[in-house]
Amino acid sequence: MGGLLEGKTILITGIITDASIAFRAAAIAQEQDATVLITGIPERLRLIDRIAKRLPKEVPPAIGLDITNEDDLNALAGKVRELAPQGLDGVLHSIAFAPRTLMGPEAKPFLEGPGPDAAKAFEISAWSYASLARAVLPVLNEGASLVGMDFDPRTAMPYYNWMGVAKAALESVNRYVAREVGEAKRARSNLVAAGPIKTLAAKAIAGTATDDAAKLNQLNEYWDGASPIGWNVDDPTAVGKSIVALLSDWLPATTGSIVYVDGGASHNTWLPESFN
């Protein structure tokens, strides 16, 4: 019996290190018999290709994609066709960015966040989900699945600031993308709201100073304590498996939705004693 993604071709964006959620999702997709293609920021392709060699199976060289560059977006479908004439059955959008003025310990107070920086955070973290959907639509197969990465923005999280606003916008963008790709290709679009994982993104939020690292550890301890089933910040496997489930045919009527993969902490009001 084949894996969940047997016969499917999946495009993965956002691999930066082998600790990233995108890398883990790509590995699990391969373990479930998918053919995986990857993209990367053009100036980092050699690094990304080296990291990709750590995947369980070989993948073609990363496709250069600056998500804010219209030339790259317009060329994406053609590059995918060259590597996968059969088209795409799934796409993972794992792309987000906010300048340091807007997020992390060095950020300005929320009310003083520069407008141009906020626009950049929105462009890369929210608008890009729609732009990627537009770019892949010509090579998207009927019934395909798009998945984006979210972090629950319903509360004002310390240090997260304008990235929280961008994630709230992403949730709205997802609903509109779901409508359009559904009408065009009967494709689905959903977000995975993951709990905190020790990635480069998490480090960008907390910073590297001792007190900032301690605050990140406090958040991690809180998340594990608030989760009814526990949460491991060192292991993105649960998130990767949930992404793969959404990319499979096993949630055929789920679209425009958010799947919370955070141990239930975001829905639990209980605070552990260690969090104050």
Residue 57: per-residue pLDDT: 98
Contact between residue 132 and residue 67 where contact means Cβ atoms under 8 Å apart: yes
pLDDT (0 to 100) of residue 202: 53
Q: pLDDT (tens digit, 9 = 90+) per residue, 130-154? A: 999 999 999 999 999 999 999 989 8
Whole-angstrom distance, CA of residue 6 vs CA of residue 31: 10
The segment with the largest mean pLDDT, out of 10-19, 104-113, 221-230, is 10-19
- Mean local confidence (pLDDT), 36-45: 96
Yes or no: say if 218 and 224 are a contact pair by the CB < 8 Å rule: no
In this prediction, residue 275 has a pLDDT band, given cuts at 50, 70 and 90, of: very low
pLDDT of 209: 44
Structure confidence at residue 198 as a pLDDT band (50, 70, 90):
confident
Distance, CA of 205 to CA of 265 (rounded, Å): 19
CB atoms within 10 A of CB 21: 24
Q: Is the dihedral of CA 67, 105, 194, 23 positive or negative?
A: positive
* The pLDDT of residue 32: 98
| pLDDT of 269 | 58
Phi/psi zone of residue 17: left (φ > 0), alpha (ψ -120 to 50 degrees), beta? Answer: beta
Residue with tokens 């509360």: 155
Q: Where are the domains of the chain?
A: 9-263
pLDDT higher than threshold 60 for residue 205: no
21-25 average pLDDT score: 97
C-alpha angle 61-32-136 in degrees, rounded to nearest 5: 50
CATH topology of domain 9-263: Rossmann fold (3.40.50)
Q: Quick one: angle between helices 237-247 and 21-31, nearest 10?
A: 60
CA-closest candidate to residue 24, choices 273, 203, 234 = 234
Among 99, 101, 63, 103, CA closest to 83? 63
The predicted-structure confidence for 230-271, as pLDDT tens digits, reads as follows: 888 888 999 999 999 999 999 999 999 999 999 888 887 555
pLDDT at 273: 53
d(CA 267, CA 275): 17
Helix axes 161-185, 128-136, angle to 10 degrees: 20
Handedness of CA 188, 60, 27, 39 (dihedral sign): negative
CB 143 within 8 A of CB 189: no
Reported as a pLDDT band with limits 50, 70 and 90, residue 210 is very low
